[in-house]
Structure 1
Amino acid sequence: MDESTPAPATVPAPAAPVPAAAAESRGAVARRTRLTALIVACALFMQNLDSTVIATALPTMATAFGADPTHMNVALTSYLLSLAVFIPASGWMADRYGTRTVFRAAIAVFTLGSVLCGRADSLTFLVVARVFQGIGGAMMVPVGRLLLLRTVAKSELVAAMAWLSTPALIGPVVGPPLGGFIVTYFSWPLIFDINVPIGILGITLVTLFVEDVREPTSAKFDFRGLALSGIGLSSFMFGMETAGRGVVPPALTAAMIGVGVLCALLYWLHARRHPAPLLDFTLLRIPTFMVSVAGGTVFRIGIGAIPFLLPMMLQLGFGKSAAQSGMITFASSAGAIVMKPAAMSALRRFGFRDTLLVNAVISALLLALSAAFRPSWPLFAIYVVLLSGGFFRSLQFTAYNALAYADVPRERMSAATSLYSTIQQVSLTFGVSAGAGALVISMALSGNEAPQLPDFSWAFIAVSFISLTAAPLSLFMPRSAATEMSGHNG
């Protein structure tokens, strides 16, 4: 009907199907968004769980292999180093072969690596299998996030990212007690075999329900960049992992950190000349991406110390068993689950800048409150602090993860996920090192040969201060930042 044709005002029927169809379309998009987010979240949970579940099983595995238990830590570091080497290549791979194809292949590689780990009969076999498994994990994390970025509308991205923040918080907390339970009541290969049905289900769901999207690229693969970033990141992370722990000679730790810094400098010079570097630092010129990276890094460093400090304080300072401490630390994960429906409401009301500013302060204060924990505290009070802390930390992670991509052009999304995921991995390593370093310094100043409750208290205060420094970084963007995602009207 054109403008010259009169229509009876009392007959609105012809217009009725339009909003109904639009509502149906929006409902279908929302359902697909939730399904895609859930599929990606399950895969990321598998990866996060596996990276920590092995920790409590290492002594039992050492006995089975006839190996020195002190040497078993290489099974953890080999996986982390594999992640550091291959994460930078994930963006180029997704552009070249498609996000669905690469994500599905990553799940398959990770699952096959899990099978090989469960069949290991020596430490050498296990390390090789863990490196192979790490290749799959390195592709799953950033490509899974990229899959959401390319299939989800910006207005729904915050809700989708809430699904991704939850497994990242739950995995490190659930992993150690679950590993201890499996080793105690079953056999250690089961800690790897539980990934098999999850992996098969993930591959099936990705094939059936996830779209295959890609950005055409003619750029050649940056092999020199991969070598420099891989050597730099793995050396630096190895140095930070061993710093202050007495695992290797201090000279070796210092040398590895030095090699990492040198390779980072060489990579930076290389990236300035390369037309399509694997890690593109020019993305940091985007204010919202810079705030998310800088603020998220220091925030994660403080929060990343919790899985190291809290269980140790509960066991060494409170006299709790590993199982008891695991049930207490799980409370922070429960808080993260409760947060998911609240993230969108908070951002819509306050916007990204004010939410990140105030929430960082609240999260840091709740983390610092853990320093006051004592055996005389009612268990209920400890649960309240941990539940509240998990809620606000998860809100912060969700906001950072969504904000990072608010203003990134579509053609640079793959580069952004590679850089963001790499920095995330490094910051989590910093978190454990910061917690361990603060504990060692407190012990040295107090003259304690073994950590005492006051040492844990000072360590918690130190890492909470690191997280607190994320708050003022939010002021480097306007209140109107990322309003398309948050729906905030200022």
Structure 2
Amino acid sequence: MPNRVVLDAKTARWLPWVVAIAFFMQSLDGTILNTALPAMAEDLAENPLRMQGVIIAYMLTVALLIPASGWIADRFGTKKIFFGAIMLFSIGSLLCALSSSLSMLVGARVIQGLGGALMLPVGRLVVLRAYPRSELVRIMGFITIPGLLGPLLGPTMGGWMVQYLTWHWIFLINLPVGMIGCYAVWKFIPDLRGSERTRFDSLGFLLFGAAMVLITIAMEGLGELHLPHLRVMLLLFGGMACLAAYWLRAGHIENPLFSPVLFKTRTFAVGILGNLFARLGSGALPFLVPLLLQIALGYSPSQAGMSMLPLAAAAMVAKSVARPLIERLGYRVVLTGNTLLLGMMLASMGLVSEQTPYPLLLAMLAVLGAINSLQFTAMNTVTLIDLDDAQASSGNSLLSVVAQLALSLGVACAGALLGGFTAQAGNDGVNTVLEAFQLTFLTVGIMAMLAAAIFLQLSPKDGKRVVSREHDIEH
């Protein structure tokens, strides 16, 4: 059992605010960058259609470190790790702003990701250990609100800063928030750690991490990195071999990073695989849409950012209808139907052109935002709903990793498709670039629709009643 502390009234009042600050920093950073990519590419003398590495470096770093976050917090204490996480995130933000080349920027995003990977899970851990279960729903509800505001404010702020200041400010804005966060952590966060020293599955961590990195680089090799096909195949094969070695080893050791036993629960197995493949489509959306609006349709950065508002606003509204809809129809109907709808709406973005009325474009983005939000909520709850208490922590950790990995693979896949279609079109004018975007959206939409076959494997009775063990992990 973890060490418990009795919080004084002041700490109990301020601790949720400290965790909320960290959640807001990470949530804002996840969306503010997309609108700024074309301006960053121009300043760094890069092709704006090949800037996905900036996003993938962060997402992949977060995915790699999440499995170790609980053990690190238990080993060194939540106070030091939470402080270090915000400090690393802030230093990474400063280095991003000072970057003068794409490779420097990608390296700085890795440092930022090291901090980001620890902020969210360690923040949750602090709340879980510091408050009684009766207070948990209220506290968790409070600290996730800033996380919902980030996607709403991010694209608009990013577009405005790029147009009226410079792209560097999308990173510099993290510094004052980080300074406040570091002070607040040192003053209010209790130093909690596990009372029992558990052994960390280091070899499993290395195998699993190597698999994620190799597969992602293989996807990037088809796009931004322009690697020969033979090298891409070797990377892909190496990644799959590491993954196979991990699962074979995990089946017969005492405390694996993620136990294969989790997959004996059908809803978990379907939910994890569904998350992996459905997010390949939805993960490409925040990357592709700002590029489409600015590069192919000629929108200004601030216009592109404002155009993303309906997508984020509709996503927030959809959260309120997700639970009653799932309770009424069940997970099988909701997820199969919604996945097909998601794929069709992504494909329909391939019909957008200069002649598309602006209100129609906003309506399409709003529908996409609502469908995407319902998809995430339903996928995440079905994945964890049937796990017992002993498996819930490990299952939640694997879900977080798969979610981040799938989003980074989605961006890598979209970048590879966009680069391939652009090369075919010749890249000699707006029309050819627009055609490349249209074909990319169509392909991504078809990929997303295929994930519906996974959710068909659910029983009609699975999750008819949404129980209290539901998590909504969107990042």
Q: Same fold (TM over 0.5)?
A: yes
Shift of 1:336: 1.3
C-alpha root-mean-square deviation of aligned residues, in Å? Answer: 4.2
Provide closer, same or farther for how the CA distance between residues 119 and 184 of structure 1 changes in structure 2, counting only shifts above 3 A.
same
Give the alignment partner of residue 114 of structure 2, picking from 122, 135, 144. 135
The equivalent of 1:448 in structure 2 is 425
The equivalent of 2:351 in structure 1 is 372
Give the alignment partner of residue 219 of structure 1, picking from 193, 198, 207. 198
1:399 is aligned to 2:378: yes
Name the stretch that deviates more: 414-423 or 116-125. Answer: 116-125
Q: Quick check: which has more Rg, 1 or 2?
A: 1
Contact residue 46 and residue 195 of structure 1 kept, 8 A: no
Provide closer, same or farther for how the CA distance between residues 371 and 120 of structure 1 changes in structure 2, counting only shifts above 3 A.
closer
Give the alignment partner of residue 462 of structure 1, picking from 423, 435, 443. 443
Provide closer, same or farther for how the CA distance between residues 258 and 459 of structure 1 changes in structure 2, counting only shifts above 3 A.
same
The equivalent of 1:42 in structure 2 is 24
Shift of 1:392: 1.9
1:343 is aligned to 2:343: no
- Distance in 2 (CA, whole Å) between partners of 1:470 and 1:122 is 37
- Distance in 1 (CA, whole Å) between partners of 2:297 and 2:364 is 17
Contact residue 16 and residue 139 of structure 2 kept, 8 A: no
The equivalent of 1:484 in structure 2 is 467
Give the alignment partner of residue 288 of structure 1, picking from 249, 264, 267. 267
Shift of 1:441: 6.0
The equivalent of 1:276 in structure 2 is 255
Contact residue 87 and residue 142 of structure 1 kept, 8 A: yes
Name the stretch that deviates more: 35-44 or 218-227. Answer: 35-44
Shift of 1:299: 1.5
The equivalent of 2:452 in structure 1 is 471
Give SS of 1:320's match. coil
Amino acid in structure 1 at the alignment position of 2:70: G
Shift of 1:96: 4.3
Provide closer, same or farther for how the CA distance between residues 423 and 486 of structure 1 changes in structure 2, counting only shifts above 3 A.
closer
Provide closer, same or farther for how the CA distance between residues 125 and 365 of structure 1 changes in structure 2, counting only shifts above 3 A.
closer
- Distance in 2 (CA, whole Å) between partners of 1:181 and 1:469 is 37
Provide closer, same or farther for how the CA distance between residues 377 and 194 of structure 1 changes in structure 2, counting only shifts above 3 A.
same
Shift of 1:301: 0.7
Count of residue pairs the alignment pairs up: 449
Residue deviations 1:157-193, cap 9 Å, x none? 997898598468558xx45x64454355335543322
Provide closer, same or farther for how the CA distance between residues 124 and 274 of structure 1 changes in structure 2, counting only shifts above 3 A.
same
- Distance in 1 (CA, whole Å) between partners of 2:268 and 2:139 is 15
TM-score (norm 1): 0.75
Contact residue 215 and residue 239 of structure 2 kept, 8 A: yes
Question: Can you give the 5+ residue segments of structure 2 that lack an aligned partner in the other structure?
Answer: 1-12, 471-475
Give SS of 2:209's match. helix
The equivalent of 2:8 in structure 1 is none
The equivalent of 1:195 in structure 2 is 174
Give the alignment partner of residue 93 of structure 1, picking from 69, 72, 82. 72
Shift of 1:235: 2.2
Provide closer, same or farther for how the CA distance between residues 404 and 92 of structure 1 changes in structure 2, counting only shifts above 3 A.
farther
Amino acid in structure 1 at the alignment position of 2:439: W
Give SS of 1:483's match. coil
- Distance in 2 (CA, whole Å) between partners of 1:146 and 1:75 is 29
Contact residue 146 and residue 414 of structure 1 kept, 8 A: no
Give SS of 1:299's match. helix
Provide closer, same or farther for how the CA distance between residues 457 and 79 of structure 1 changes in structure 2, counting only shifts above 3 A.
closer
- Distance in 2 (CA, whole Å) between partners of 1:57 and 1:326 is 13
Provide closer, same or farther for how the CA distance between residues 42 and 305 of structure 1 changes in structure 2, counting only shifts above 3 A.
same
Residue deviations 1:121-178, cap 9 Å, x none? 787765654333221112234445666777777988997898598468558xx45x64
Residue deviations 1:344-402, cap 9 Å, x none? 33334434443323332333332232222232222111111111110121122122233
The equivalent of 2:387 in structure 1 is 408
Give the alignment partner of residue 113 of structure 1, picking from 76, 92, 99. 92
Provide closer, same or farther for how the CA distance between residues 415 and 102 of structure 1 changes in structure 2, counting only shifts above 3 A.
farther
- Distance in 1 (CA, whole Å) between partners of 2:180 and 2:203 is 37
Contact residue 97 and residue 214 of structure 1 kept, 8 A: yes
Name the stretch that deviates more: 478-487 or 338-347. Answer: 478-487
TM-score (norm 2): 0.77
Provide closer, same or farther for how the CA distance between residues 319 and 78 of structure 1 changes in structure 2, counting only shifts above 3 A.
closer
Percent identity, aligned pairs only, is 31
- Distance in 1 (CA, whole Å) between partners of 2:454 and 2:14 is 35
Amino acid in structure 2 at the alignment position of 1:461: L
The equivalent of 1:235 in structure 2 is 214
